[in-house]
A and B are shown apart, each in its own frame.
Chain A
């Protein structure tokens, strides 16, 4: 009631109680401080500092000299940048659809009340709790051309020669996609499951009565019912795929050649291997801008369809 009173009185009350307002503000902000302090030091400041560093030539031993936008110029005129950017997006094209479709498929299966439901669901979700290094090592060995079970398995099915999963540029992205899908599909599946369970059963009943078959039920009830989850998933997967680093670092080291080098790895190598922090910061800034653009686009799309 107290709060209602305050809100009801509106601006008049606020103007009259200026000093009170400041105290209220501060009291509220007090609770934000534990979050804001690390946030400012370890997020806001580095973002600003990164922008500053991108305008210099900077080595690990410190700032060397001011070069204004030279780093950006160097970066944007270097074909490597566009190649690696393309690689990151290529991976999005490979991985996002596959993991979403697979996740949806698995969720649909689990939702059917099959035997050993919990056990099977655990099997699909289990890889997700492992860390990127573990899964990268496992798949690094699985995809080994000469000694790996994947090729052994394929030979059983009549494959003539070994596929060089990690050293042949025709196959390497598939290898990384398969490993990543295996790793993260559990997360997608679980979200779809939660979404599926929110669709009221009577919708399906009604459709059955109307004579709709399984496919029609899926298309007209299930998919629309999952649209919110789907949108979130697509957005999330795009961002996650663009940040690809660990699997590439461990499984291929960017190779063969540099066909699996991604934006993040590019930043890492430029900064920590070539000791060019200024250039790496410029790359990071550009990357940030791209991510922001994607977020904005995504927001606009969902906003439009919601409204």
Chain B
């Protein structure tokens, strides 16, 4: 195909893709009630201001939500990686007979989505007094076995000589894991970590149900509250969305390479 034509198509498509985000930004900067509809609206920059941003930040806990999302994301990711790594180590390096059964049980975790166990999950969290607590979101997030599967594959690739050398030294299992497997699977762990973080950041349905007070909400679950509390002001909803999206976009731009790598690694191997 003609190179120039291809390039043009690519650029046009890219612009089309960015368009909704640019529009969101534009609407968020316009005064309440003003819509961006016709071409004229697009180029009218005279009424742009950050009033909406001030209003949203002042009148809603959106910054707190972002913080909650961050804390939950980091905790889920770090704990997930460690827990998955330990389990992957066990499957990959430790000889034990019942390995097969446990593996099957864990893999079955891939099959039933959280959506199908919402009700009993809610009840369980209720009994454990975890409703409206961030651990209600973190703990169920740790049941995703994909981390174990991915890390196990990488650990399988760790050369046997390393392991055997350590075992001759009399190293105990834990040392084996800590000093050898962890560092050698570092890149895989970063990938898995990024994957889990994105999953946690965008988690919607379960946090929506399990968090009751506005203050404890996470970003993705808190946004819809704008719809019910502010049905009259559509610009504010865009502002809130922009506030939710901008940090994500910035982080993405900075860490693009790693993120894309992480996602593709988990997708291709999984």
* Chain B residues whose CB sits within 8 angstroms of the CB of A35 once the complex forms: 83-84, 86-87, 106, 142, 145, 148
Contact B112 A34 (CB under 8 A): no
Which of B6, B11, B204 makes the CB contact (< 8 A) with A132?
A: B204
A147 & B37 in contact (Cβ 8 Å cutoff): yes
List chain B residues, Cβ under 8 A from A114: 3, 6-7, 10
Q: Are B94 and A281 in contact (CB under 8 A)?
A: no
Q: How far is the CA of A14 from the CA of B171 in the complex (A)?
A: 22
Contacts of B153 in A (CB 8 A): none
Contact (Cβ within 8 A) A47 B117: yes
Q: Determine the interface band of chain B, counting residues with CB < 8 A from chain A.
A: 35 or more
Expressed in whole angstroms, the minimum distance between the Cβ of B255 and any Cβ of chain A is: 10
Question: How far is A106 from B237 in the complex, measured between Cα atoms in Å?
Answer: 31
Contacts of B15 in A (CB 8 A): 123
Per-residue interface assignment for chain A, residues 10 to 28, with 1 indicating a CB less than 8 Å from any chain B CB and 0 otherwise: 0000100000010011011
Which chain A positions have C-beta within 8 A of B238? 137-138, 141
Q: Is the CB of B1 within 8 A of A214?
A: yes
- Tell whether, in the assembled complex, residue B245 and residue A264 are in contact, meaning their CB atoms are under 8 Å apart: no
**Contact flag A267-B111 (CB < 8 Å), given A50-B120, A131-B244:** no
B11 / chain A contacts, CB cutoff of 8 Å: 115-116, 120
Q: Which B1-21 residues have a C-beta within 8 angstroms of A?
A: 1, 3, 6-7, 9-11, 13-15, 17-18, 20-21
In the assembled complex, B221 has its CB within 8 A of some CB on chain A = yes
B176 CB, nearest partner CB in chain A, Å:
10
Is residue B50 within 8 Å, beta carbon to beta carbon, of the partner chain? no
Report B91-104 CB contacts with A as 1/0, cut-off 8 Å.
Answer: 00011111100100
Shortest C-beta distance, B238 to chain A (Å), equals 7
Asked whether A202 is an interface residue with its Cβ less than 8 Å from the other chain, the reply is no
Q: Is the CB of A194 within 8 A of B96?
A: no
B10 touches A126 (CB 8 A): no
**CB of B224 closer than 8 Å to a CB of A:** yes
Within the complex, the shortest CB–CB distance from B71 to chain A, in Å, comes to: 16
The verdict on A212 contacting chain B, using a C-beta distance below 8 Å, is no
Taking CB atoms, residues of chain B closer than 8 Å to A106 are 13
Interface of B is mostly: helix
Once the chains are docked, how many angstroms separate the CA of A25 from the CA of B95? 8
Q: For B86, list chain A residues within 8 Å (CB).
A: 31-32, 34-35
A199 interface residue, CB < 8 Å from B? no
CA distance A51 to B142 in the complex (A): 22
Assess the B244–A50 pair: CB atoms within 8 A.
no
B233 within 8 A of A: no
Q: How far is the CA of A268 from the CA of B227 in the complex (A)?
A: 19
- A277 beta carbon closer than 8 Å to chain B: yes
A38-B204 in contact given A46-B124, A232-B267 (Cβ < 8 Å): no
Q: How many residues of A contact B (CB 8 A)?
A: 96
Stretch at the interface among A68-76, A90-98, A185-193: A185-193
Given contacts A42-B143, A126-B252, A268-B118, contact A133 B244 (CB under 8 A): yes
Cβ-neighbour of A194 out of B13, B95, B145, B264 (below 8 A): B264
- A39-B106, A122-B253, A126-B252 known; A131 vs B83 contact (CB < 8 Å): no
A-facing residues in B202-258 (Cβ within 8 Å):
202, 204-205, 209, 219-221, 223-224, 227, 234, 237-238, 240-241, 244-245, 248-249, 251-253, 256
- Chain B residues whose C-beta falls within 8 Å of the C-beta of A28 in the assembled complex: 90, 94-96, 99
Is A243 within 8 A of B115, CB to CB? Answer: yes
Chain A residue with the shortest CB-CB distance to B147: A35
Question: Which residues of chain A have C-beta atoms less than 8 A from B18's C-beta?
Answer: 123, 126
> Cβ of A47 and Cβ of B120 under 8 Å apart?
yes
Question: Which residues of chain B from 64 to 108 have a CB within 8 Å of any chain A CB?
Answer: 82-84, 86-87, 89-90, 94-99, 102, 105-106
List, in ascending order, chain B residues with CB within 8 A of A137's CB.
223, 227, 237-238, 240-241
Q: Quick check: is A149 within 8 A (CB to CB) of the other chain?
A: yes
Q: In the bound complex, what is the Cα–Cα distance between A222 and B165 (angstroms)? A: 43
Q: Check A81 for interface membership: any CB of B closer than 8 A.
A: no
Q: In the complex the two chains form, is B143's CB within 8 Å of A39's CB?
A: yes
| Residue A255 interfacial (CB < 8 Å) | no
Flag if B205 contacts A245 (CB, 8 Å). Answer: yes
Within 8 Å by CB of B117, from A39, A43, A141, lies A43
- Give complex CA distance A231, B97 in Å: 32
A206 contacts B by Cβ under 8 Å:
no
Cα of A105 to Cα of B245 in the assembled complex, Å = 26
Residue A129 interfacial (CB < 8 Å): yes
The answer, yes or no, to whether A204 is at the interface (CB within 8 Å) is no
Whether A2 and B116, one on each chain, are in contact in the complex, defined by CB atoms closer than 8 angstroms, is: no
Asked if A3 is at the interface of the complex by the 8 Å CB criterion, the answer is: yes
Whether B196 sits at the interface, judged by CB under 8 Å, is no
List 8 A-B residue pairs with CB atoms under 8 Å apart, sorted by A's residue number: A47-B117, A131-B202, A131-B244, A187-B267, A190-B264, A239-B113, A268-B205, A281-B119
Q: A6-B95, A43-B117, A134-B241 are in contact. List 18 more A-B contacts (CB 8 A).
A: A2-B164, A25-B98, A28-B99, A36-B106, A43-B140, A110-B10, A115-B7, A129-B252, A131-B220, A137-B227, A137-B241, A141-B234, A264-B205, A271-B118, A284-B116, A284-B117, A285-B116, A291-B111
Give the 4 A-B CB pairs with smallest separation, nearest first: A131-B220, A31-B90, A28-B96, A49-B120
